[in-house]
Amino acid sequence: MSQKHPKSSATINKLVDELNPVKRIFNFKKRFIAWSIIHVLCILLIMFSTGSLRPNLIEQIKQPLFFLELLLIFVSMPLLAFLLFRESTPHKKQRPFKTILYYSPFIFSVVLISLQFFKPQFEFSMVGKRAYCGFEIILYAIPLYLSLLYLVKKAFPLRKKSLSFLMGLSASTFTSAMMNISCIYEVKHVLIWHIGPIFIVSLISFVVGLFVFKEKK
Amino acid sequence: MSSARLSVSQTELRWSALMTQVQAGSKSSYNTLLNELSPFLYNFLNKRISYIQATDDILQEVLINLHKARHTYQPDKSFRAWVLAITRNKMIDVIRKKTRKEQIFSNQGELIDIHGADEKNINAKNSSDDLQKIIKNLPQKNQKILILAKVEGYSITEIAKKHNMSPNAIKQNIYRSLVQLKNEVVSQESYQ
């Protein structure tokens, strides 16, 4: 334990010289709760000021499969955001199984929607159609994504690539879930215009993250 | 609880307290903390990485990262887990960067085949005397280039300038020399 490392002693001296007091960042749970509440309130406000819920939603929600699918997609936003904030600071290594658990509601909800290609739950209906649902998801995700980028960059993310992707998912999943209860519900439409934008935002987020989190040499 | 475990947790508590003072800007605590941490981290890295040069380099980078991340430490969380998460991440980063190159020589003179094809065979031959003999079989120019690149750590561009050659030609030269070395090591291994 008492080995001397000339290189590290020089680094230590330099770091000690450069030391300034720092303000400790908030616990990740506090940051997660604050961001999620603001996120949900903003989206609800925008969605209800630009439209309303689908008129036949109450009847549809009685279908157990549809209810389960909605539940899963609504649960996935807080889970993904929790994982994101947790991963944004160095912490005890998490088991891969646990990480998969956080992603699983989102994956299952997409699988449940896709399965309806074979056996649709509802007859085709245009009730509640929003003209620009897909674009709305992308548009609303931008400020949410930027706020996440700021918060995550302010922390010290270690797994930058997966976090970059996760930021996009967290910023767009809730809006997509809201679209599933306000816009039309038809498998192809939901997959292309409600779920598709989530992946577009996540891919953009991934690419942006590669540049933003790139270590300076 | 055993006395060893008790002392480990006491050390951790001490480090955690020092880190809290560091966040407030105490230079003396920082000096103490880093001086106590570096041998611990060095041993942690050394157990996982065989070549000493890399261990030293990673330790520098880990210390710099600890400095950058000091605002993220929460006193109610495990200090050890926080430090080791940063260390492990940096270690993986550096190893990944190194694996991009086909093969590397450590300063101890052992040839490591990163793709692992003949890693066992080659590692068995890590005596620097044997390796030097094999290197001497290479043409003079190739020997010089290989030593500059893999032992003395010159960049491809620097070597290209020294030898008035293009960087691509230097890369090819190094690659051919490494292949030749590998074949010789493997053939000697099969004779034995």
Q: With 50 as the cut, is the pLDDT of residue A166 above it? A: yes
Alpha carbon distances (Å) from A150 to A27, A93, B91, B126: 16, 24, 26, 49
Do A7 and B59 lie within an 8 Å CB cutoff?
yes
Chain A CA closest to residue B90: A158
Q: With 50 as the cut, is the pLDDT of residue B148 above it? A: yes
Do B27 and A25 lie within an 8 Å CB cutoff?
no
Task: Name the phi and psi angles at B104, rounded to 5.
Answer: -135, 150
Banded pLDDT at A174 (limits 50, 70, 90): very high
Read off the DSSP letter of residue B26.
Answer: -
**d(CA A95, nearest CA chain B) in Å:** 13
Report yes or no: B42 and B28 within 8 Å, Cβ to Cβ: no
Residues of A in contact with B56 (CB under 8 A): 5, 7-8
Q: With 70 as the cut, is the pLDDT of residue A20 above it? A: yes
Which pLDDT belongs to residue A7? 66
The domains of chain B are located at 3-100, 103-191
Task: Name the phi and psi angles at B112, rounded to 5.
Answer: -115, 120
Do A89 and B43 lie within an 8 Å CB cutoff?
no
Which pLDDT belongs to residue B77? 85
Residues of A in contact with B74 (CB under 8 A): 24, 27, 89
Do B67 and A18 lie within an 8 Å CB cutoff?
yes
Least confident of A3-17, A50-64, A169-183, B124-138: B124-138
User: Which letter, b or e, does each residue of B23-33 get, where b requires 16 or more Cβ atoms within 10 Å of its Cβ?
Assistant: beebeebbbbb
* Distance, first Cα to last Cα, chain A: 31
Residues of A in contact with B70 (CB under 8 A): 22
Do A158 and B74 lie within an 8 Å CB cutoff?
no
ipTM given for this complex: 0.80
pLDDT digits (tens, 9 = 90+) for A32-87: 999 999 999 999 999 888 888 888 888 888 888 889 999 999 999 999 999 999 98
Is B23 an 8 Å CB contact of chain A? yes
**d(CA A99, nearest CA chain B) in Å:** 16
Is B161 an 8 Å CB contact of chain A? no
Banded pLDDT at B191 (limits 50, 70, 90): low
Least confident of A52-66, A71-85, B26-40, B48-62: B48-62
Strand partners, B158: none
Which pLDDT belongs to residue B106? 47
Banded pLDDT at B127 (limits 50, 70, 90): low
- Domain B3-100 shares a fold with domain B103-191: no
Give the position of tokens 């960049």. B155
**d(CA B40, nearest CA chain A) in Å:** 7
Q: Return the closest-CA partner of residue A174 out of A99, A75, A51, A105.
A: A75
Average confidence score pLDDT of chain A: 88
Report B:93-152 residues touching A (Cβ under 8 A): none
**DSSP letters for A59-94:** HHHTSHHHHHHHHHHHHHHHHHHHHHHHHTS--SPP
Give, to the nearest 10 degrees, the angle between helix B27-48 and helix A6-18.
140
Which pLDDT belongs to residue A38? 94
Do A24 and B73 lie within an 8 Å CB cutoff?
yes
The reported pTM is 0.71
CA B188 – CA B192 distance, rounded (Å) = 6
Long-range CB pairs of B18-22, under 8 A, 24+ apart, other chains included: B19/B70, B19/B73, B19/B75, B19/B79, B20/B73, B20/B75, B22/A19, B22/B70
CATH topology of domain B103-191: Arc Repressor Mutant, subunit A (1.10.10)
Report yes or no: B105 and B91 within 8 Å, Cβ to Cβ: no
Amino acid at B9: S
3.30.70.100, 1.10.1740.10, 3.20.20.410, 2.130.10.30: CATH of B3-100: 1.10.1740.10
CA B156 – CA B153 distance, rounded (Å) = 9
Q: With 80 as the cut, is the pLDDT of residue B95 above it? A: no
Share of chain A above pLDDT 70, in %: 96
CA B110 – CA B103 distance, rounded (Å) = 11
CA B139 – CA B144 distance, rounded (Å) = 9
